[in-house]
Structure 1
Amino acid sequence: MASSPFTSLACPIDGGALHCNGKSWHCSAGHNFDIARQGYVHLLPVQNKRSKDPGDNKEMVAARQRFLNAGYYQPIADAVCRAVFQDDASIRSLSCLDAGCGEGYYLRCLSDSAPEGTGLTLLGLDISKSAVLAAARQDKNPTWVVGSNANLPVLPETLDRILCLFGFPVYQEFSRVLRAGGELIEVESGSDHLRELREIIYPELKESRQVPDTAPEGFSVLEKSAVCFSLELPDQNAIADLLAMTPHFYRGSTKGLARIQELESLSVTVEATIRRLEKN
């Protein structure tokens, strides 16, 4: 089902409503943000950047795109879609933000799985310009924005759903932009996630952070579930793409990463915890 763009954007400088004239977004205070020819808009002010080019670089984005488009994480995408729609045929419209959208895989899956008659208004946001550029090239329907979860360029109480998938949640901001009763869908790594990969990289595994049972302030837990499956990576290219998607690419020692590069195939456990949180 085709999705439509999200239009309730806010100026990242003064918080006022942004209006689109076809080639740019502007607010009443005169701040103007051009829409790139690829179809995204940059709403991350220079003063809010921690580096010149924050987020994933082109090589990491390309690796993520190859890996996800190959369908390796399809069971996670399916679980996210079920969490969003809940088999509720009465839902006629949903506005959804993917906060940390990467190259847009999960929003594309969401659009493809929307129940008949449900209208989707989609916004994908990432701090990486390379990721948003890749997302915009693959799907023109959502609104794609370079921005930060710490200062979402979104008007208050305009969203029904937020996805935060293996990302960096900012609960105060999420609560601000969700409507009352809106839901946050979180996905985080489980304790055995990519255990076999980690055992090769590190001499000793650290205990994984457990996803809490309690809700952050302003939210209530509706549901907590897990997705766990075995993944067969048939060649070094697939292994390298998976590694590039993880923090282990930077944290691993030279020796550990060299051992990964010697592998011809790898079987890994994928374990993700999914939480549905409702805004109070």
Structure 2
Amino acid sequence: MSYLCPLCHSPLAAQEKSFVCPQGHQFDKAKEGYVNLLPVQHKHSRDPGDSTEMMQARRAFLDAGHYQPLRDAICQVLTCFAPEKLLDIGCGEGYYTAGFAGALTGLTGDIWGLDVSKVAIRYAAKRYSQVQFCVASSHRLPFGDSSLGAVVRIFAPCKAEELARVVKPGGVVITATPGPRHLMQLKALIYQEVLLHSQEVESLPGFVEEQTQHISWPMTLKGEEAAALLQMTPFAWRARPEVREALKAEAAFACETDFVVRVWRREG
């Protein structure tokens, strides 16, 4: 399976240092091994996605194993389906994608990681050579119709019609979203009124919800870990400087996790 050209949607042929479509559009491979399939006209900002600081915080936090139960749960689901081809949408710096690749060794073929952040993909490709990474929009997936057996989407946006297009009949989409009490203690430091996350289930036309799993566990974080957690969440934009400093000074910050993992089966 090859990528699709983001400009004309023709298949891209892999060459030694680039991908080229029949119309002559060319996309060079970076030295780390990834390819950038996000044309400037598809960008909404100069450097979309997470920044270097957010990526460094995310890698430090995830490498410490604080979200490993979530990765393990999704790996267990994937091993039951053993898809031939897997895409991780919004893969960030590759922590989850590499875990999926390890769990599916010998059970599946190619595994792709996609993110809109060039910084994130550079981090991912440099560390995890067993995965094919690309910079691309999750709303314009550079993959052919019915070409994927499974898509994983952890906190990542994607148009439902794009998922229905690229996932083959009988294939699955696995989503991970915040449960009602996710990071309540962190939110309490930032907002005067702490609201539970919505329990409304998204609509995925063309898919049937097949499984739902609730996963939660308590965390006790060192100050730097708590600050890294804040930095990798959307709450960082609302946090005052004194909140960041208070977190860094924590010896043991107690915080809840709460996730909902759903499996959606492609109809047809």
TM, length-normalised to structure 2 = 0.95
Q: Name the CA shift for 1:261/1:204 in 2 (closer, same or farther; >3 Å).
A: farther
Query: How far off its partner does 1:99 sit?
Result: 0.6
1:173 — aligned with what?
162
Higher relative contact order (CA 8 A, sep 6+): 1
Structure 1 segment 95-114 matched on structure 2, within 5 A: 95-114=85-104
Per-residue CA deviations over 1:235-257 (Å, capped at 9, x if unaligned) read: 21111111111000012345544
Query: How far off its partner does 1:203 sit?
Result: 1.4
Matched, 1:277 2:264: yes
Query: How far off its partner does 1:169 sit?
Result: 2.7
8 Å CA contact 2:190–2:239 kept in 1: the answer is: yes
1:12 — aligned with what?
6
Report sequence identity in percent: 33
8 Å CA contact 1:225–1:274 kept in 2: the answer is: yes
Matched, 1:250 2:240: no
User: SS of 2:230's equivalent?
Assistant: helix
2:213 — aligned with what?
225
Query: How far off its partner does 1:174 sit?
Result: 1.0
> In the comparison of the two structures, how many residue pairs are matched?
267
Task: Identify which of 20, 28, 34 aligns with 1:26.
Answer: 20
Query: How far off its partner does 1:208 sit?
Result: 1.5
Structure 1 segment 141-220 matched on structure 2, within 5 A: 141-212=130-201, 215-220=203-208
Runs of 5+ unmatched residues, structure 2: none
Query: How far off its partner does 1:259 sit?
Result: 3.9
Alpha-carbon distance in structure 2 between the residues aligned to 1:265 and 1:49: 40
Alpha-carbon distance in structure 1 between the residues aligned to 2:16 and 2:218: 46
User: SS of 2:53's equivalent?
Assistant: helix
Runs of 5+ unmatched residues, structure 1: 1-6
1:3 — aligned with what?
none
8 Å CA contact 1:61–1:103 kept in 2: the answer is: yes
Alpha-carbon distance in structure 2 between the residues aligned to 1:66 and 1:211: 31
